[in-house]
Amino acid sequence: MPAPPPSSWVRWDADAARLPARARRQARRAARSVLDGLEALARRGLSPVSALIGDSVPAVLAQYPAAAPVQGPDYLYYYHCHDARETPAGEHGHFHVFARRADGHHVHLAGVAVDAVGWPRRLFTTNRWVTDETLVPAAAVLADADRIAARAYPDPLTRWLLPQLALFRPQLAALLRRRDQRLRILRRGRSRQRLLEDRRIRVLSQCRIDLPAQIAALAATT
């Protein structure tokens, strides 16, 4: 019998000592941006969640902001929630973050799950049908994520969200590799198109994240 696909869960300890020096410097800059964005939101009496949904109770699967995703020249993101029965304990909802390509297609970089006040708890990747993305290999996704995460953003919510792609880059790289590995194994005996549209397969890889632990690990290394 063929071996079952590996678990969607990727275990990761916040050990920044594994990073090369240049990657550590980039991660530290990202950490400063994430904290600065969070502080700027707090000064306005906002959290990353309330900045988009206000004081309302979010409708299941509705996208926030309601008018259109937050968009830049080559990125976009939105926030939404699932039914409480489908939501992992302690999570409120998640941000879907995309790179937008010149041909108009979009690539899903990561889902960032948060608690009710916007504290990041989990990163994940999804099957193609979930976000209607153009699915590309892990290396191409990481290249898009690196480019987008490296910029300075005036908007505090964007400044908090997008640099997390750099702060948690080791986890993101591991998630994307696991995503591609699971897709290769799950494809056995069926077409790629059928697999990517299989409604039974939603999350392909996921990893718990800890913002204070990640920043502490960065601070502890030289």
The confidence score (pLDDT) of residue 15 equals: 58
1 located within any domain = no
8 located within any domain = no
The confidence score (pLDDT) of residue 5 equals: 76
207 located within any domain = yes
pLDDT tens digits along 119-145: 999 999 999 999 999 999 999 999 999
The confidence score (pLDDT) of residue 218 equals: 87
Q: 162-165 long-range CB contacts below 8 Å, 24 or more apart?
A: 162/75, 162/77, 162/97, 163/29, 163/30, 163/31, 163/33, 163/34, 163/37, 164/30, 164/34, 164/112, 164/120, 165/30, 165/97, 165/109, 165/110
- Judged against a pLDDT cut of 80, whether residue 16 lies above it is answered with no
pLDDT grade, residue 19 (50/70/90)?
confident
194 located within any domain = yes
Strands (E), 115-208: 120-126, 203-208
Mean pLDDT of the chain: 92
The confidence score (pLDDT) of residue 57 equals: 87
The confidence score (pLDDT) of residue 6 equals: 84
13 located within any domain = no
14 located within any domain = no
Q: Give mean pLDDT, residues 161-171.
A: 96
Structural domain boundaries, residue 136: 21-219
pLDDT tens digits along 23-49: 889 999 999 999 999 999 999 999 999
110: nearest Cα among 135, 79, 82, 145: 145
pLDDT tens digits along 64-119: 999 899 999 999 999 999 998 888 889 999 999 999 998 889 999 999 999 998 99
Q: Give mean pLDDT, residues 146-150.
A: 96
Q: How many domains does the chain have?
A: 1
Least confident range from 2-16, 135-149, 167-181: namely 2-16
- 8 Å CB contact between 12 and 177: no
pLDDT grade, residue 152 (50/70/90)?
very high
> Is this structure's pTM higher than 0.85?
yes
The confidence score (pLDDT) of residue 14 equals: 57
7 located within any domain = no
4 located within any domain = no
Q: Is the peptide bond before 65 cis (omega within 30 degrees of 0)?
A: yes
Q: H or E stretch including 80?
A: strand 75-80
